[in-house]
A and B are shown apart, each in its own frame.
Chain A
Amino acid sequence: MVEMAKMIVALAIISALAGLAIGAAYDKTAEKISEQEKSAKASALKAVFPQGAAIDTIIPVIPVKSGGGLLPEKYWTAMAKDALVGYAFEMSGRGYASDDIKFIVGVDREGKILGMTVLSHNETPGLGSRVNEVASTRYVWYPVGESGQAKPWFTEQFEGLSSLKPIGINKVAGEWHGLDEPKRAELRGKNEVTAITGSTISTRAFTNSISRDIAGYVKELSK
């Protein structure tokens, strides 16, 4: 009996101290973390639109995703020279991890994808995590010179594709960063992207949620 009480007390004390420590750490960092997330989102938004466009946040009057209305709770518009360039939507798709992949897609008024940026993901390191990989063209023994593309290749290959038609996944062509221009044009013609090797499920998270949601959004907005 005494032994049992001792165990309970010890576990209770340790859990309480641990809870206090995590609570204090959370308290100290929460504000800073949300600031970081906000600035990450702001730069992600800039990246999906052409340079210099003025971005506005729009909260639809009827923010319903059910029934007749198909708009998300929040989206963004970009204006350049007083003309509407396009819209951006925050999307999420189920990849391989239990947390959804969150990303922002910018489309023009005809539903053509202008740009795409991954906000957060929890995919397998070395496989699905390559959604953010910047392809390298430099060699180990000569790591200077051309620094490769600045954009991650996986999201770059979506640019110019139509979000109104389903986007196909090509698993035989190899990864996009290794293809030459004619091959890339051929994929674009078929409205296809290349899969990340070993991570088709992560790839599918993007194509699925784009074809599930964006066509509806664009149709609703062009009314």
Chain B
Amino acid sequence: MASIQIVKELKRGIITENPILILALGLCPSLAVSTSVKNGLGMGLAATFVLALSNVIISIIKGWIPDKVRIPCFIVVIATFVSILQLLIKAYVPLLDEQLGIFIPLIVVNCIILGRAEAFASKNNPVRSLVDGLVMGLGFTVSLLILSCIREFLGSNKLWDLLVVPGFKPMTAMILAPGGFFAIAFVMGVVNWIRGWEKKEARKA
């Protein structure tokens, strides 16, 4: 029973409610960091960590926050987590700081985190909020990986900093902002096409 639940939640985070490709949340960090697979994975994992923890805290304190000031309260909680995370990484894992340091401040303005706080954590219990944070973070990470594979390969002929096709002259535009828009639009188009096709099949059956 529990494993069915997990599969269902995973499917919700990665496919049916994918934060970038379906809900169209968090597009700006996606544009900025999907230039290479390493960056995409780093940003995805860091955001997942903050998302899960802030979801739990927000779900715990939701009862005694007045409705009218809930958004500022959520932002304070999120920003606190990001600041603490940044300090800890700087102090204890300087190698990770070199790789991730520049993304961490970006997490505060990632609207997936505020979006999930508002749409989910403020209405559900801490355990469910934790699960929601984890699967949504995973969905974000998976979409970033797809986008960054496309962009890193076309834009710099590399995957995970390793060359791919000898002699292929990469299109630099793909690692610049326009390439990000192209890649997101393309992947969204494919996802919508598959969903439309699925719906048609379901109607036929």
Contact = CB atoms under 8 A, between A and B. Distances in A.
B66 A7 contact: yes
A14 B71 CA distance: 12
B28 interface: no
Interface stretch (B11-19, B33-41, B118-126, B185-193): B33-41
Interface string A19-52: 0011001101100110010001000000000000
Interface string B35-77: 1100100010000000000000000010011101100110011
- Residue among A36, A124, A125, A137 with the most chain B CB within 10 A? A125
B196 interface: no
B88 A29 contact: yes
B89 to A, nearest CB: 10
B127 interface: no
B163 A138 contact: yes
Contacts of A11: 69, 72-73
B172 A198 contact: yes
B27 interface: no
Contact of B91 (A18, A33, A132): A33
**Main SS of the interface on chain B?**
helix
B103 A198 contact: no
Contacts of B164: 139-140
Contacts of A21: 80, 84
A36 B90 contact: yes
A32 B90 CA distance: 8
B22 interface: no
**Main SS of the interface on chain A?**
helix
Contacts of A32: 91-92
A126 B92 contact: no
A197 interface: yes
Interface string B94-125: 10001000110000000000000000000000
B87 interface: yes
B39 A126 contact: yes
B87 A125 contact: no
A82 interface: no
B175 interface: yes
A213 B163 CA distance: 38
Contacts of B77: 14, 18
A7 B172 contact: no
Contact of B66 (A3, A29, A143): A3
Nearest to B68: A7
Complex A-B, nearest 10 residue pairs according to Cβ-Cβ distance, in ascending order: A126-B35, A29-B91, A32-B91, A18-B80, A25-B84, A140-B162, A29-B87, A7-B69, A7-B66, A36-B94
21 contacts: A7-B66, A11-B73, A18-B76, A18-B79, A22-B80, A25-B88, A26-B87, A29-B90, A32-B91, A125-B32, A125-B33, A125-B43, A125-B103, A126-B36, A136-B162, A138-B162, A140-B159, A140-B160, A140-B163, A198-B172, A198-B175
Interface of A: 3, 6-7, 10-11, 14-15, 18, 21-22, 25-26, 28-29, 32-33, 36, 40, 122-127, 129, 132, 136-140, 143, 197-198
Given A125-B39, A139-B164, A143-B162, 19 more contacts: A10-B64, A10-B66, A10-B69, A14-B61, A14-B73, A18-B77, A25-B88, A28-B91, A36-B90, A36-B94, A124-B32, A125-B32, A125-B33, A126-B32, A126-B175, A127-B175, A139-B163, A140-B160, A197-B172
